[in-house]
Chains A and B, each alone.
Chain A
């Protein structure tokens, strides 16, 4: 492996502008992590228009900072107020808040910060070595491989994600449908445009993401009232004792590895990783009854895993151009907005961007470790802002922002339409993530499918004759077939079924 571009990447990160935006990114990330409701996907979506004015590297460094910074911030409210600021910190509540009630809030926050740092760093190091390999491998990808990959990605996102699978699948199908709006890339025929010129170029990604993630979440939040109001918490003695560290070191190690792999998986990401890590620690522990009553491992494992996963989910995006989850889809949108060629060629064509973004995560994690503990009090103060004050400001920024991208009023209408759609989806238990992801992958899927059918002279069985696309399609079929088979097996005998799926998926 050639290390010169890696080192060049560091020189990119250490430019003052990039350092500044890295800091801004992680601070914003921590803030939205603290605020319940407004997640990283929403924030990145809202900030998309701002990134147009700045350099591609700088903007992606900032957006990445928001994503992994939010994983740190979510812990604070989980531990202190039993109020997860972030979906990926939900499991931290059980043991984190129990520790806080025992007067050991500092320990929980300290362990979480250290775990997050270790998880993030391990994941970046693995990313540094793995990403160029995957990218090199992906250079051999042709249209058939991309077809298979996009299919697999959409399917995994809708089945692996936590939540109702059928609803996720419905959302994904709507996303695919939305991707077909506009002029057909091959024949030039217009589809679903209703003769409207605004729709002729297809729906833009930015207003959809800003509407579904941004406006939708804001609307949903306004409805939610906090029935209990707590007094601001005080945190003393932040450093965990040596015994706590020793107790949680195993959990941190396992959480890093588990988080890394679950982050790469399409549909995986931070939320799934934290749930899985918590479950694993509980299963491994000799004293599982301690969990939920203030076990340090119960804080360390999910917090480590969610940071590791947040970092490693950049691998599929930066090497294949395929986002692994909703937030990555929005970052992909930012890359496309900047005109950066996303795909396996990124690492060779834009080494500065590739390594600049990856190396910025080292700096970002150090910044977060330094900031997270002394600034806890400040972040808790943010929670005193009422949604009634925050929401109108955010909506205004969103609508002005989307207008500035294309100077188009039609985009504002789109944001409002998708905002209402996002609100209704959340209210009815649909996750907007699969929709956005399927929308992004839909164009790729259609283009590469039709291109490969042209190559194959219209023979779909040829997909199985190429090794990579064949393997991917077999995995695709396994993902489709295994859950019903497993369900049937579970009905017959419960014991061995769990084991089987773990190996296959």
Chain B
């Protein structure tokens, strides 16, 4: 069993990571950080830089939590990718960060968080920064 964190290099992702770290320590389970940028373009701001990956790994190890980082790019919706990885690893909980989005913005862009919350077949922990 693992704790799956959907991570982006943003304050929301940071909050999700902190909550996920806490959760995996409480459950004494492995922490799986999923940072999946959309594939296609060679560069994406969604990808966490090496420096950030090292920092997060160090923080998890300092807490005595086993951590795995996945950065493979996805195609299609990021929510589907999170749910797929959750199924694959049989995660006990999914941790995501919520960002502020206006009703119009949500109408146009959709909400990955909402899709994860509604479609997941396991507990989801949603945190705000």
Which A residues have a C-beta under 8 Å from some C-beta of B?
36, 77, 81, 83, 225-232, 380-381, 383-388
Contacts and interface: CB of A to CB of B under 8 A. Distances in A.
Nearest to A83: B42
Contacts of B50: 231
A169 B20 CA distance: 61
B52 to A, nearest CB: 8
B49 A229 contact: no
B40 interface: yes
Given A229-B37, A231-B9, A231-B48, A383 B73 contact: no
Contacts of B45: 231-232, 384
A229 B42 contact: yes
Contacts of A226: 39-42, 73
Contact of B47 (A36, A77, A230): A230
Interface in B27-57: 37-50, 52
17 contacts: A36-B42, A77-B42, A83-B42, A226-B39, A226-B73, A228-B71, A229-B38, A229-B41, A229-B47, A230-B42, A230-B44, A231-B50, A231-B52, A232-B43, A380-B43, A384-B41, A388-B40
Contacts of B39: 225-227, 229
A447 to B, nearest CB: 46
B40 A383 contact: no
User: Do most interface residues of chain B lie in helix, strand or loop, or is the interface mixed?
Assistant: loop
Contacts, number: 60
A77 B43 CA distance: 10
A232 B48 CA distance: 9
A81 B73 contact: no
Contacts of A83: 42
Nearest to B45: A232
B41 A227 contact: no
A231 B41 contact: no
Most chain-B CB neighbours within 10 Å: which of A225, A226, A381? A226
Contacts of B37: 229
Interface of chain A: mostly helix, strand, loop or mixed:
loop
Nearest to A387: B40
Interface hub of B41, B42, B52 (most chain A Cβ within 10 A): B42
Q: Which 5 A-B pairs have the closest CB atoms?
A: A386-B40, A383-B43, A231-B49, A231-B47, A229-B37
Contacts of B42: 36, 77, 81, 83, 226, 229-230, 383
A81 B40 contact: no
A227 B43 contact: no
Contacts of B48: 231
A52 to B, nearest CB: 33
Residue from A36, A231, A380, A388 with most neighbouring chain B CB atoms (10 Å)? A231
Contacts of A36: 42
A229 B50 CA distance: 12
A383 B46 CA distance: 13
Nearest to A101: B50
B98 to A, nearest CB: 23
Given A231-B48, A231-B49, A225 B43 contact: no
Given A229-B47, A387-B41, A388-B40, 5 more contacts: A230-B47, A231-B9, A231-B43, A231-B48, A386-B38
B47 A227 contact: no
A229 B45 CA distance: 9
A225 B41 contact: no
Contacts of A225: 39-40
B19 to A, nearest CB: 23
Contacts of B44: 229-232, 384
Interface string B41-85: 111111111101000000000000000000101000000000000
Contacts of A388: 40
Nearest to A77: B42
Contacts of A386: 38, 40-41
Contacts of B52: 231
B73 A384 contact: no
A282 B15 CA distance: 49
Contacts of B49: 231-232
Nearest to B37: A229
A81 B50 CA distance: 13
A83 B48 CA distance: 18
Interface string B2-13: 000000010000
A387 B40 CA distance: 7
